[in-house]
């Protein structure tokens, strides 16, 4: 009898929860006593959601345009997978609002495989709420959770962070995290932040991407004096992270920590951090430190800040800082950025370096091809274009930078000369004699400073650097005019110092290849050479080596009547041939991303291949993009497996480049074979992605393999 009762109870439990993935609806007109699996039988409250254990692939959809009280809570019992995530989103028109009052908006504990999309999380206000908005927290030992997605969120009104992702147990952390198209504002301590167990030599988190996000009006907290508050986006403890096309502004004015302050967009204890194509402005600090635009901070290694625009910040535009007890900090690049009227408070610098000396201080950092424009602040403080605030540094170089001030502000102030080299920069004080402050001594001109210090000259004794008006355009690009002395005056970094200049400049022009000399500053062109703008707003167009081929990527901010793009190539930069047609979005007010792979670049009988886009309107009118170049000989040496499009969408046919007559295979995250195809004589195979869920897959061909991502 007992056996029958237990069996009946087991059947009842199983029958009460479908084994396959389900979609649940929550509506203000619903009822928690209903099944919830259709709009007609929708649940009513977040309490019902929190009482339910969800399975991989489940979707929880809130009625768009409506407001739901309470905070969503998940534990490890609701665990998604990369292939079958648990998705929280809205249905119908508009976003649903989760009004969590004094509680968190969404809290996930020791779980991942989670996606949050098209939702607004609103707290009771940073002065009333006591939590963060969206939180993912991990404290299990030796655990690496995969797949978090936040897309099209709006998070505001929380005392701590708008979104906070962290772990606190040794090396445990989150991997494969993407945060996109979201806004974090009107919070107290930060817009978006992450953390890991400290002190830890290395990173707990891996493979993150933050794109097209905004962090603004995050005030800081005057009552917290032991750490910085009021950051826009601050990421820590990540190995492999890209932050791009993000904005941070008007943050940090209430920071109460006198030992350190907030920054608009920055990272610490990260490896392979790239901050690019971002804008950070009007950030502040409630105290006399920081409040800047961008920063690579304590323990960052192999990291880059490039193609960013910083302006009107209280603190540095671009800062390198090594705090006490931080892990080693080394191999950093700051290139092709613009700083305009940064360091508005407390006598700071636009390009700034400070080191405690911890674990070797800051080693091997290059500032090159940046443009600094600085006028005196109205508050009477005395900023400078470059400020080296301490010792504890080694092999720090500044080359090919434009450093322009006015009102008698110094172009350079350094409190320590050890471990620092300046070569090939353009110095200009617009309405007063040049001022270089070197180790406590002020020099009135470039020649005197060079003779006294050995700076601005190469090892062979050749003098470098300019003391001249760079003649820049009065625009956000700060492009040199046709008669500018900085044109073709830059040192060739590759030839002279074995430093790669990178693929492009601030606005997307290709960098000049050896033996030619590029410009000084952030712009490798002049006003007469900029291509006519596309009818759509093209914000990026790059051509990069990828295997034996070229990967072309471009992004539009807006599109109007955009029918399609034609990708064209040339071997001489004059006569172009159409390669492929890519459909446009017609009309769009959001960022759109495109890519095309030109296979086997070595087929071109030339050392350099030129690419451009022909954008065609629905009425047939066309306009051309700027031209991009790629070395065909360089591409020939690379042999890694190439897959495109990547990311792809379910239903695409994924192309694979491989050896003819070999088999290309597609596997899921559990190693199960999903599809195979024979590589044809042209070196291309097609793998169907029909019926596959969004997630991460593996493509293998011969002995090579690579990751494929499928998105919604």
DSSP, residue by residue, 32-90: TTS--SSSTT-B--HHHHHT----TT-EEEEETT-EEES-EEE-TTS---SSS-EEEEE
Say whether pLDDT at 15 is over 60: no
Co-location of 608 and 678 in the same domain: no
Flag whether pLDDT at 448 surpasses 90.
yes
| Mean pLDDT across 174-190 | 97
How many domains are there within the chain? 2
pLDDT class of 702 with cuts at 50, 70, 90: confident
Closest CA relative to residue 320, chosen from 341, 298, 336, 291: 298
Residue 659 belongs to some domain of the structure: yes
Question: How sure is the predictor about 430, in pLDDT bands with cuts at 50, 70 and 90?
Answer: confident
What is the CB neighbour count within 10 angstroms for residue 379?
9
pLDDT tens-digit profile of 208-265?
999 999 999 999 999 999 999 999 999 999 999 999 999 999 999 999 999 999 999 9
Mean pLDDT of the chain: 89
pLDDT at 198: 84
- The better pLDDT of the pair 435, 541 is held by 435
Q: What is the pLDDT of residue 271?
A: 97
What DSSP element (H or E) covers 568?
Answer: strand 549-570
Per the structure, the complete domain to which residue 606 belongs is given by 537-631
566 belongs to a structural domain: yes
CA 9 to chain CA centroid, Å, is 51
If asked whether residues 611 and 686 sit together in one domain, one would say no
pLDDT of residue 617: 86
pLDDT band, residue 597 (cuts 50/70/90): confident
Question: Which residue, of 631, 652, 667, is where some domain finishes?
Answer: 631
In-domain check, residue 172: no
Residue 4 clears pLDDT 60, i.e. is over it = no
Q: Is the pLDDT of residue 624 over 60?
A: yes
Range name among 56-65, 244-253, 484-493, 539-548 with the lowest pLDDT average: 539-548
Q: Are both 554 and 618 inside the same structural domain?
A: yes
Confidence (pLDDT) at 669: 64
Cα 166 from Cα 251, distance rounded (Å)? 22
Opening angle at CA 230, ends 302 and 292, nearest 5: 55
Task: Name the nearest CA neighbour of 710 among 677, 680, 679, 674.
Answer: 674
Phi first, then psi: what are they for 407, rounded to 5°?
Answer: 65, 20
DSSP 8-state assignment for residue 549: E
CB-CB contact of 539 with 555 (8 Å)? yes
Q: Could you tell me which residues come within 8 angstroms of residue 21 by beta carbon, excluding any fewer than 6 positions away?
A: 55, 56, 57, 58, 59, 84
The pLDDT tens digits for 361-420 are 999 999 999 999 999 999 999 999 999 999 999 999 999 999 999 999 999 999 988 999
Nearest by Cα to 400 from 353, 461, 342, 465: 465
Residues 613 and 648 reside in one and the same domain: no
In angstroms, the CA 173 to CA 196 distance is 7
Nearest to 401 by CA among 353, 368, 364, 352: 368
266 is a domain residue: no
Indicate the residue among 598, 631, 664 that finishes a domain: 631
Same structural domain, 652 and 602: no
Tell whether 595 and 678 lie within a shared domain: no
Give the list of residues 6+ apart from residue 132 with CB closer than 8 angstroms, or none.
104, 158, 159, 160, 161, 162, 163, 164, 187
Residue tagged 């030109």 (tokens): 598
Does the structure show a pLDDT above 80 at 71?
yes
Measured distance CA(620)–CA(201) in Å, rounded: 58
Averaged pLDDT, 19-27: 91
Q: Which of 439-443, 536-540, 569-573, 662-666 has the highest average model confidence (pLDDT)?
A: 439-443
- Residue with the larger pLDDT of the pair 188 and 669: 188
| 174 within some domain | no
pLDDT at residue 526, rounded to an integer:
58
pLDDT band with cut points at 50, 70 and 90 for residue 435? very high
Q: What is the CATH number of the domain that holds 700?
A: 2.60.40.10
pLDDT band at residue 683, thresholds of 50, 70 and 90?
confident
Confidence of residue 463 (pLDDT cuts 50, 70, 90): very high
Q: Is residue 179 part of a domain?
A: no
From CA 187, how far away is CA 133, in angstroms rounded?
Answer: 9
Is residue 115 in some structural domain? no
Average confidence (pLDDT) over 598-612: 77
> Do 572 and 619 fall within a single domain?
yes
Residue 609's CATH number: 2.60.40.2060
516-528 pLDDT, tens per residue? 899 999 999 755 4
pLDDT surpassing 70 at residue 544: yes
Q: What number is the average pLDDT over the span 312-323?
A: 97
The model's pTM is 0.74
Highest mean pLDDT among 221-235, 477-491, 540-554: 221-235
Instruction: Specify if 494 maps to a domain.
Output: no
CA 665/CA 482 separation, integer angstroms: 53
Q: What is the mean pLDDT of residues 267-282?
A: 97
Residue 106 CA to residue 94 CA, distance in Å, equals 19
Checking if the pLDDT of 653 tops 90, the result is: no
Look at residue 291 in the predicted model and tell me its pLDDT: 97
How much is the pLDDT for 476? 59
Q: Last residue of some domain: 597, 631, 665?
A: 631
Q: How far apart are CA 82 and CA 86, in angstroms?
A: 9
For 83-115, the pLDDT digits (tens) are 999 999 999 999 999 999 999 999 999 999 999
pLDDT at 9 over 50: no
Q: What is the average pLDDT across 642-648?
A: 76
Matching residue, tokens 């443009």: 371
d(CA 71, CA 68): 9
What is the enclosing helix (H) or strand (E) of 7?
A: helix 2-15
Counting beta carbons within 10 angstroms of the beta carbon of residue 133, is it exposed (0 to 12), middle (13 to 18) or buried (19 or more)? buried
Q: What is the mean pLDDT of residues 21-44?
A: 97
SS3 (DSSP) at 439: coil
Give CA–CA dist 252/519, Å, rounded. 36
Q: What is the DSSP letter of 326?
A: P
Of 231-235, 286-290, 612-616, 621-625, the range with the highest mean pLDDT is 231-235
Residue-level pLDDT at 696: 74
**Closest to 426 in 3D by CA, of 333, 343, 488:** 488
């Amino acid at each position: 009898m007992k056996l029958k009762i237990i069996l009946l109870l087991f059947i009842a439990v199983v029958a009460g929860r479908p084994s396959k993935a389900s979609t649940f609806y929550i509506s203000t007109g619903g009822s928690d006593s209903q099944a919830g699996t259709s709009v007609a039988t929708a649940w009513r409250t977040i309490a019902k959601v929190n009482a339910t254990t969800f399975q991989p692939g489940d979707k929880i959809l809130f009625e768009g345009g409506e407001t739901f009280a309470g905070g969503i809570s998940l534990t490890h019992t609701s665990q998604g997978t990369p292939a079958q995530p648990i998705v929280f989103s809205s249905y119908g028109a508009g976003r649903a609002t989760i009004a969590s009052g004094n509680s968190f908006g969404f809290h996930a504990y020791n779980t991942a495989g989670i996606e949050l999309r098209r939702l607004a999380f609103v707290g009771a206000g940073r002065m009333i709420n006591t939590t963060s908005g969206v939180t993912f927290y991990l404290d299990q030992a030796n655990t690496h959770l995969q797949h978090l997605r936040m897309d099209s969120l709006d998070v505001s009104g929380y005392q701590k962070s708008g979104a906070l992702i962290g772990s606190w147990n040794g090396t445990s952390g989150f991997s494969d995290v993407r945060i996109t198209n979201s806004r974090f504002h009107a919070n107290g301590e930060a817009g978006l932040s992450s953390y890991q167990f400290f002190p830890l030599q290395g990173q707990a988190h891996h493979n993150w991407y933050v794109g097209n996000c905004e962090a603004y009006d995050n005030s800081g907290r005057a009552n917290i004096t032991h750490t910085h508050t009021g950051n826009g986006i601050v990421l820590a403890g990540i190995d492999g992270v890209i932050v791009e096309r993000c904005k941070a502004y008007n943050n940090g004015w209430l920071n109460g920590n006198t030992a350190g302050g907030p920054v608009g967009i920055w990272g610490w204890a990260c490896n392979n951090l790239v901050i690019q194509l971002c804008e950070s402005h009007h950030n502040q600090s409630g105290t006399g430190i920081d409040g800047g635009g961008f920063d690579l901070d304590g323990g960052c290694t192999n990291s880059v800040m490039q193609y960013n625009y910083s302006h009107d910040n209280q603190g540095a535009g671009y800062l390198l800082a090594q705090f006490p007890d931080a892990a080693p900090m080394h191999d950093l690049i700051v290139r092709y950025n613009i700083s305009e009227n940064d360091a508005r408070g407390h006598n700071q610098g636009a390009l700034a370096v400070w080191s405690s000396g911890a674990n070797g201080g800051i080693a091997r950092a290059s500032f090159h091809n940046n443009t600094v424009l600085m006028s005196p602040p109205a508050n009477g403080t005395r900023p400078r274009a470059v400020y080296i605030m301490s010792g504890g540094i080694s092999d720090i170089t500044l080359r090919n930078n434009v450093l322009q001030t006015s009102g008698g502000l110094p172009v350079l102030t350094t409190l320590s000369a050890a471990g620092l080299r300046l070569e090939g920069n353009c110095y200009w004080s617009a309405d007063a004699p040049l001022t270089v402050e070197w180790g406590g001594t002020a020099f009135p001109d470039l020649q005197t400073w060079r003779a006294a210090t050995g700076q601005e000259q190469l090892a062979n004794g050749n003098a470098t650097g300019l003391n001249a008006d760079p003649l820049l355009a009065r625009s956000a690009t700060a492009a040199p005019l046709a008669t500018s002395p900085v044109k073709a005056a830059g040192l060739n970094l590759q030839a002279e110092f074995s430093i790669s200049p990178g693929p492009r400049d601030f606005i997307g022009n290709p960098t000049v290849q050896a033996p030619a000399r590029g410009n000084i500053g952030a712009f490798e062109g002049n006003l007469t050479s900029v291509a006519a703008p596309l009818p759509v707003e093209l914000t990026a167009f790059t051509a990069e080596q990828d295997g034996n081929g070229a990967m072309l990527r471009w992004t539009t901010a807006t599109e109007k009547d955009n029918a399609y793009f034609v990708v064209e190539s040339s071997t001489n930069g004059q006569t172009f041939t159409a390669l492929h047609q890519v459909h446009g979005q017609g009309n769009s007010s959001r960022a759109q991303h495109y890519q095309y792979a030109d296979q086997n670049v070595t087929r071109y009988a030339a050392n350099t291949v030129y690419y451009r886009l022909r954008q065609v309107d629905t009425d047939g009118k066309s306009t051309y993009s700027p031209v991009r170049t790629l070395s065909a000989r360089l591409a020939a040496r690379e042999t890694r497996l190439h897959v495109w499009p990547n990311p792809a969408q379910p239903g695409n046919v994924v192309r694979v480049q491989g050896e003819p007559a070999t088999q290309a295979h597609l596997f899921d995250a559990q190693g199960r074979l999903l599809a195979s195809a024979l590589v044809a004589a042209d070196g291309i195979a097609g793998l169907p992605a029909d019926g596959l869920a969004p997630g991460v897959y593996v493509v293998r061909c011969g002995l090579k393999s690579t990751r494929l991502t499928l998105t919604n």
